[in-house]
Amino acid sequence: MIKLDRVVFSYGEKRVLDGFSMTAQSGELLAVMGPSGCGKSTLLHLLAGLRAPQSGTLTVDERLPVYVFQEPRLFPWLTVTENILAVLPKGAPEDRIADSLALVGLSAEGSALPSSLSGGMKSRASLARALAYGAVVGSSLYLLDEPFSALDEPLRKSLCSALKDRFRASGATALLVTHDPDEAAAFADRVVRM
């Protein structure tokens, strides 16, 4: 479960979250929508523990949330598979890597370096890394910051649906930041407007 109660967060003088409150039940799939700069990514940063609220209370039940950043953020000197291995605990089963690569349609790109991938492929590799990590550590919270923005329409739809199925099956909670109302409707049980 996630609970934010009158959370305040500012970058210097600029207040991005001003008494923001929300709750998400376990297993709930949420879409987070709002204009640029309204604090959607900041909200995910707070939930991931990258930043702390300046006031208000924040409760996150999951100790190891999975974060898919807006940018792919792959280690440029590591192959796709190595990028996934880099974040997995030692001795993690390798079939998790193959599973996650297959889910995002990158089974053939495991030995490719990020520099040889297109923007969309990098985003999918980043997603595969997050999914493998989540599966291995058994995380029940996924924070997805516009993970499909670099993908074309058919791929975006199929991936969105595949992720939804996976989260439903595992009972995970997920917050998807998106600007696309159709994507929000297809993925989420509920929309949080900021």
Partner 1 sequence: MNASVKLPRTARVLLVAAFWLGVWAFAAWRVGLSLLLPSPALVAKTLWGMLGTAVFYQTVGRSLLNVTAGILFAVAVGVLLAAVCRRVRFLRELILPLITVVKATPVASFIVLALIWVGAPRVPALITVLIVLPVVWTNVDEGLSKIDPQLREVAVVYRMPYWRRVRLLVFPSVRPYFLAACRTSLGLAWKAGIAAEIIARPRMSIGTAINDARQYLLTEEMFAWTFVVILLSLLIELGFTALFDRFGTGKGDPA
Question: Applying CB under 8 A, which residues contact partner 1?
Answer: 48-50, 64-65, 67, 69, 71, 73, 75-79, 86-87, 113-115, 133
End-to-end Cα spacing for the chain: 19
Residue whose CB is less far from partner 1, 58 or 191: 58
Residue whose CB is less far from partner 1, 76 or 154: 76
Q: How far is the CB of 139 from partner 1 (least distance, A)?
A: 10
Q: How far is the CB of 175 from partner 1 (least distance, A)?
A: 14
Residue whose CB is less far from partner 1, 64 or 186: 64
Give, to the nearest 10 degrees, the angle between helix 95-103 and helix 80-87: 120
CA dihedral over 148, 154, 159, 161, signed as positive or negative: positive
Q: How far is the CB of 191 from partner 1 (least distance, A)?
A: 25
User: From CA 184, how far away is CA 103, in angstroms rounded?
Assistant: 20
Q: How far is the CB of 96 from partner 1 (least distance, A)?
A: 14
Q: How far is the CB of 134 from partner 1 (least distance, A)?
A: 10
Residue whose CB is less far from partner 1, 83 or 183: 83
Residues 153 and 131 sit within 8 Å (Cβ to Cβ): no
Number of helices and strands in the chain (H, E): 6, 8
Give the residue from 116, 81, 105 showing the smallest Cα distance to 157: 105
Residues 37 and 194 sit within 8 Å (Cβ to Cβ): no
Residue whose CB is less far from partner 1, 71 or 165: 71
